[in-house]
Structure 1
Amino acid sequence: MKQSTAITIATGAAVAALSGLLLYSRATRPPVINPKVPEPARSVELARYLGTWFELARHENRFQKGLDAVTADYGLDADGRIRIVNSGSQNGPQGARSSIEGRAIVADEATNAKLKVSFFGPLYTGDYWVLDHGEEYDWSIVGEPGGRYLWLLSRDARPAPAILEALLRRVEALGYDRWALRITRQV
């Protein structure tokens, strides 16, 4: 009888912990900034998408809170998965640098524009949609179907102001509030 009571208590504690984690996750998610996320505008050639991207702006989120000089490096692993290393500096572009590594798989092989990404192992994956990109893969707008996250990426850490303005107009054309974005300070 004591063993079954211990199992019941352990199971109850596990359920309570998972419930608490779920509630915390839901409570700390950013608000929806686009209730009608569009499908990706075009296909993605993965070989051209790989490499280093500089974050120009994002919808602020808890896992990047206060980060500047943010970069994302994409590479292809031998098993065909995409390796992602995101890094940024806390408290300004010159602050202490940290990074996190993740993996992604293509979720839509017809376009390669939808990925499933995990930074925390196989139990939690997130959607990563390349909503649009430049013909020369010089910029990219990335979101997800829930309309809570958005990133504006460029191959150039400091593009000309006219280019940034054109990208922000494209963000609006996709249905997002450009004023909800946090501009990322780059080195």
Structure 2
Amino acid sequence: MIRAAQITASLVAAALIALPSAALAQSRAVDLDRFDGRWFEIERSHNDVQKDCSRAQIDFTRQDRPDRYGIVVTCTRRADGRNEVLRANARIADTTTNAKFRFTLPGLLSFGGLAGQNYWVWDHDPEYSWAILALPNKSDWWIWHRDQSVSAAERSRLMARARALGLDMSRVVSTGR
């Protein structure tokens, strides 16, 4: 009986070691006062929420509590050219680095904050001109920039940084800016 338990424990330990784990956020500490403000999405991975969404603009603003932020995402739907606005709340999930957030929708849709998604700042410019965000498992990612018209060279450089972080580059969506 003891031998079987030892074998089972060894197999479980080996399986856990073999499983891919979400790496820690690689970003330097995020200065939230400098992260605050307007961003433009310049590249992202394909995701169902932003299907047919281009020219995304993100306004990230401090709320009434130190660890709370409001997010307003405005984008243009390609089919008819109309703007769509999505509002969300963000809570700092790691106050040591400020690089991890939990986004929830406001009101009843948030289920008291239980229905939400974790986003991590994986890398950012020391001057806060760009940031690379992704889900903890890196399945979805976004490159934000302060400038809405980024040069091809800057896009290539940031895409190379995203690739070096291990983000999946097989389904890239350029936002049309």
Alpha-carbon distance between aligned partners in 2 of 1:72 and 1:52, rounded to the nearest angstrom? 6
Q: AA paired with 1:130?
A: V
Determine helix, strand or coil for the equivalent of 1:178.
coil
Distance in 2, Cα, partners of 1:79 & 1:113: 17
Which structure dedicates a bigger proportion of its chain to helix? 1
1:70 has 2:70 as partner:
no
Output aligned runs, 1:11-160, within 5 Å. 37-41=22-26, 42-80=28-66, 81-91=68-78, 95-119=81-105, 120-121=109-110, 122-160=113-151
- Is the CA contact 1:37–1:175 (under 8 Å) kept in the aligned structure 2? no
- Count of residue correspondences: 151
Quote the Cα distance in structure 1 between the aligned partners of 2:65 and 2:22: 31
- Deviation string 1:115-170 (CA, Å, 9 cap, x unpaired) is 11102422301101000000100000000112221001100111121111110100
Cα 1:36–1:185 shift into 2, 3 Å: farther
SS at match of 1:145: coil
State the alpha-carbon separation in 1 of the partners of residues 121 and 34 from structure 2: 13
Please give the root-mean-square deviation of Cα atoms over the aligned residues, in Å.
Answer: 1.6
Runs (5+) with no aligned partner, structure 2: 1-19
Classify 1:87/1:162 alpha carbon distance in 2 versus 1 (closer, same or farther; 3 Å): same
User: Quick check: 1:54–1:72 contact (8 Å CA) kept in 2?
Assistant: yes
Q: Is the 8 A contact 2:120 2:133 kept in 1?
A: yes
Partner Cα separation in structure 2 for residue 37 and residue 131 of structure 1: 12
Task: After TM superposition, give the deviation of residue 172 of structure 1 in Å.
Answer: 0.9
Deviations 1:75-132 (A, max 9, x none): 011123100001100017x810010111111111110000111024223011010000
Structure 1: 5+ residue runs without aligned partners? Answer: 1-34
Q: Which amino acid aligns with 1:68?
A: S
Give the Cα separation in 2 of the matches to 1:115 and 1:144.
10
CA contact (8 A) 2:59 2:72 kept: yes
